[in-house]
Structure 1
Amino acid sequence: MNQELIELAIERGRLIERISNQRQLLARELQPLGDALQTADRATATVRTGTTYVKQHPEIVALGIAVLIVVKPARVWRWSKRGYFAWRAFGTLRRQLTDLGLLAGQRP
């Protein structure tokens, strides 16, 4: 019985070492993915910070829009139409992808 416990302890040690080696290999292999995700996290944080700032200071956005309208009203109108149509196309595409089950949404 004592010999079995010794063998089990030895096998356990080997397995623990094998697991440790696998974890180290996995960490090395996933390092590029971790770097890419860290960059994406920084970009997301920057966008959120900017969004928060704009929400707290809407007068700056309104002033910028007013200046654009005064300086180039035709250009603002043209880009507004393009933005509206892009927004509608995005909504339609998203709705179709949801209907096909390719996008998580509220529909079954």
Structure 2
Amino acid sequence: MEKKLIELSLQRGRLQERIAAQRATLAVQLRPLADALQTADRGLAAARRGVDYVKRHPGQVGVAVALLALLRPKGVWRWGRRAFVAWRLWKTARSKLAAAGIAVSRPAA
């Protein structure tokens, strides 16, 4: 019985060593993905901060847009169209994802 326990203990130790090696390999292999996801997270955080700023200071944003419209009406019109197209694409994508049963949650306010 004691011999079997020693054998099981040795086998457990070898398995734990193998698991540790696999974890280390996986960590090295996933590093590029982790870096890319970290960059995406920073971008999303910056976008959310921008949206929060616009929500807290709508007057300042309105004045800035009005000044841009006076100084560069073509540029404002062009960016307005782009923003509208992006908004419509987002709404369409969300509705199609919802129809497919994939929930797209809104960020917490």
TM-score normalised according to structure 2 size: 0.72
Matched residues in 2 for 1:55 and 1:82: separation?
21
In the other structure, the counterpart of 1:62 is 62
Residues 1:36 and 2:36 aligned together: yes
Matched residues in 2 for 1:9 and 1:44: separation?
48
Shift, 1:9, TM fit: 0.5
Shift, 1:72, TM fit: 4.2
Amino acid corresponding to residue 60 of structure 1 in structure 2: Q
RMSD of the TM alignment (CA)? 2.7
Matched residues in 1 for 2:47 and 2:90: separation?
20
Matched residues in 2 for 1:7 and 1:81: separation?
71
Q: Percent identity?
A: 48
In the other structure, the counterpart of 1:48 is 48
| 5+ residue gaps, structure 2 | 105-109
The answer to whether the 8 A contact 2:54-2:61 is kept is yes
Misfit runs of 4+, over 6 Å = none
Residue-by-residue CA offset, 1:41-91 (whole Å, 9 max, x unaligned): 11111111222222111122110121133334465456545644x244554
Matched residues in 1 for 2:37 and 2:15: separation?
31
In the other structure, the counterpart of 1:104 is 102
Amino acid corresponding to residue 36 of structure 2 in structure 1: A
Q: Greater Rg, structure 1 or structure 2?
A: 1
| 5+ residue gaps, structure 1 | none
